[in-house]
Structure 1
Amino acid sequence: MCLKWMVELHIPDIIHNHAQPITLPELVSILQVPPTKIGQVHSLMRYLAHSGFFERVRIHHNIEEKEAYALTAASELLLKSSELSLAPMVEFVLDPTLSDSYHQLKKWVYEKDLTLFDISFRITLIFNEAMASDSQMSNLALRDCKLVFEGLESIVDVGGGTGTTAKIICEAFPNLKCIVFDRPQVVENLSGSLNLTYVGGDMFKSIPKVDAVLLKWILHNWIDKDRIKILKNCKEAISNEGGKRGKVIIIDVREMKKLFMEAGFQDYKTSPLTGYLSLIEMYP
């Protein structure tokens, strides 16, 4: 909750805009914190510094030496003004809407065709914002894996949301035809471009035919039975005509590898990405 508090009050951005480490009096003045709450804010900032989100430094102000807070690599990733900000992802993970959905289990049992997330009306908006921020971070990883996409003429990003990842791929490979495939209500009002189109559908039924299928942060959401169904549909979607060797590209945790053979794939190759993710190429 300290992390949620920090992001919601834009504290990393306040320190960044301050252009130097910020003292507690300066911070509470900008935040307009009531005098009765200054002690609690001090405790929260010290806890966040202890957790590695801020660095406590000593600065000279006039003739006095004061304690101040500076950004660290962790808090720089939470700058909302940054193109690579992970602040929306933090807000999604810690949003009450997400936790509230798990208090709706009784309603979910009796409501036909509703998922837990559908019951909480705000979840779609904050989820799409979170996935977009994660995709911007993935931009760095994808630039290092350009060989994965070379030689492809078409690719479908399954569960691609608003198309942030697909747009990154389109920019890097202007001749590659990209399809963003997601639920109809997600893509119905989105506009494509010359090499980017949006298609609504159900990945458990069928996936558009292409040279390659991209699954980014999809499989970990499902139980093994559903994951295998998705992978089998991906296998059906990729083309092996004219000497092409279609493939499925997965960006997720490495533990997914055990399911590949069960879904009918014969070979795979793993490339490490930033953090705990891997890029996995699967071949039928």
Structure 2
Amino acid sequence: MAELKATMAADAKLEMWSYALGFTPMALVKCAIDLQIADVIESHGGSMTLPSLSAALGCSPPILRRIMRYLVHRRIFTHTASTSSYSQTPLSRLLMRGAADSMAALVLLESTPTMLAPWQRLSLRAHQADGSPFEDEHGRDLWGHGDANPEHSKLFDDGMSCIAAASSAAVVEQCPGVFDGISSLVDVGGGDGTALRILVKAFPWIRGINFDLSHVVGVAPPCDGVERVAGDMFVAVPKADAAFLMSVLHDWNDEECIEILRKCKEAIKEKVMIVEAVIGEEEEEDGDKYSDVRLALDMVMLAHTSGKERTLKEWEYVVKEAGFSRFTVKHIKAIPAVIEAYP
């Protein structure tokens, strides 16, 4: 028994080291993106030796070797001893800025000083009934800060585009039936239009309306079949057969969510589609490979917004309080689920 306790104590100390140095993986992935390591290796056939990679990047070989050693240890790249070369992996390809499924923009957003600083205030949030550490740190909420800082707004939109692309593709592949009979769809808080571009390509009979704040849709790229409309979802939502909200309602508290959903209900004929995480009860989270990301996203909401990721009971509350008669939940093999709310 004493030996078991000693082993558990040693394991606990080792695990605590991972928390003390927890910023390291993010910092090194950001470093890889900044140096464009994955892009350069891909442009050279997917594999390069250290001297060739150092020359192409203009980096010090000893320093780059240490960086690559860590990235190989984290399985982001592989190293072949016989040829002394570094090669791409599915993880490293997600860091390529030009890749269709790249997640580089999301890493670059979350690793900015703007997004990191509020985490230092997270303990203070435990004593506040409302507000957010982001607002405390920057003097305005996430959207007000973006409006006043176009460069950060672009980073934010690009990061959200990563999430929208992955989630939209999962919905199209696993839940295509939710779009049957829908001829017009308003994407509420649609950002740069990434989700709608994917949806109207998959379902060309849909006329899309990308609806967001003026400084967001004003720089969104044009797309055939998609109309860009500027406005405030707390005031009114453009009319359509259905409304689509992806990674929007988790940014707001219950009262704000209810108000947004009421505005959507006033605007639609058929239903509101909500693509968001559904947090399982503690006993339901075991064995779900997406649960860690969902719970981490809930902490992101705690640091950056007044919102939260919701359990099924919490979703039922806001949907019914908004006046919807019923709702269904379709769980998919992805971080979000698809919630359909009917008037």
With the shorter chain as reference, the TM-score category is: 0.7 to 0.9
For residues 96 and 106 of structure 1, what CA distance do their matches in structure 2 show?
Answer: 11
For residues 71 and 55 of structure 1, what CA distance do their matches in structure 2 show?
Answer: 7
For residues 227 and 103 of structure 1, what CA distance do their matches in structure 2 show?
Answer: 19
On the 8 A contact 2:193/2:221 being kept in 1, the answer is no
Partner of 2:78: 55
CA-to-aligned-CA distance 1:183-218 (integer Å, 9 cap, x gap) = 122224657566321111111112112211101111
Indicate which of 146, 152, 156 corresponds to 1:127. 156
| Length-normalised TM-score, structure 2 | 0.69
Shift of 1:72: 1.9
- 1:272 equivalent to 2:331? Answer yes
Partner of 1:89: 106
For residues 134 and 321 of structure 2, what CA distance do their matches in structure 1 show?
Answer: 34
Shift of 1:140: 2.6
CA-to-aligned-CA distance 1:64-95 (integer Å, 9 cap, x gap) = xx3x3222221122222322211112211212
For residues 280 and 147 of structure 1, what CA distance do their matches in structure 2 show?
Answer: 13
Indicate which of 17, 20, 30 corresponds to 1:4. 30
Shift of 1:114: 7.7
SS at 1:122 equivalent: helix
For residues 128 and 30 of structure 1, what CA distance do their matches in structure 2 show?
Answer: 30
**Structure 1 segments unaligned to the other structure (5+ residues):** 61-65, 240-245
Shift of 1:148: 0.9
User: Percent same amino acid at aligned positions?
Assistant: 33
For residues 135 and 247 of structure 2, what CA distance do their matches in structure 1 show?
Answer: 24
CA-to-aligned-CA distance 1:225-269 (integer Å, 9 cap, x gap) = 222221222222222xxxxxx111112211334232333333322
Partner of 1:243: none
| Length-normalised TM-score, structure 1 | 0.82
Which fold has the larger relative contact order, with Cα–Cα distance below 8 Å and residues 6 or more apart in sequence? 2
On the 8 A contact 1:248/1:282 being kept in 2, the answer is yes
**Structure 2 segments unaligned to the other structure (5+ residues):** 1-26, 119-132, 280-309
Partner of 1:164: 194
Shift of 1:274: 4.7
| Paired residue type of 2:30 | K
For residues 234 and 225 of structure 1, what CA distance do their matches in structure 2 show?
Answer: 14
For residues 143 and 243 of structure 2, what CA distance do their matches in structure 1 show?
Answer: 27
Q: RMSD in angstroms over aligned alpha carbons? A: 2.7
Indicate which of 122, 126, 136 corresponds to 1:105. 136
For residues 199 and 81 of structure 1, what CA distance do their matches in structure 2 show?
Answer: 28
Give 1 or 2: higher helix fraction.
Answer: 2
For residues 80 and 57 of structure 2, what CA distance do their matches in structure 1 show?
Answer: 21
| Paired residue type of 1:69 | Y
Partner of 2:264: 234
SS at 2:82 equivalent: strand
SS at 1:208 equivalent: coil
- Alignment map for 1:174-213 (pairs within 5 Å): 174-188=204-218, 195-213=225-243
- Alignment map for 1:13-162 (pairs within 5 Å): 13-34=39-60, 38-60=61-83, 66=84, 68-99=85-116, 105=136, 108=139, 115-144=144-173, 145-162=175-192
Shift of 1:11: 0.8
For residues 208 and 140 of structure 1, what CA distance do their matches in structure 2 show?
Answer: 24
For residues 236 and 134 of structure 2, what CA distance do their matches in structure 1 show?
Answer: 32
Shift of 1:53: 1.1
For residues 82 and 325 of structure 2, what CA distance do their matches in structure 1 show?
Answer: 60
Change (3 A) 1:221 1:26: same
| Paired residue type of 2:341 | M
- 1:249 equivalent to 2:273? Answer yes
For residues 273 and 190 of structure 2, what CA distance do their matches in structure 1 show?
Answer: 13
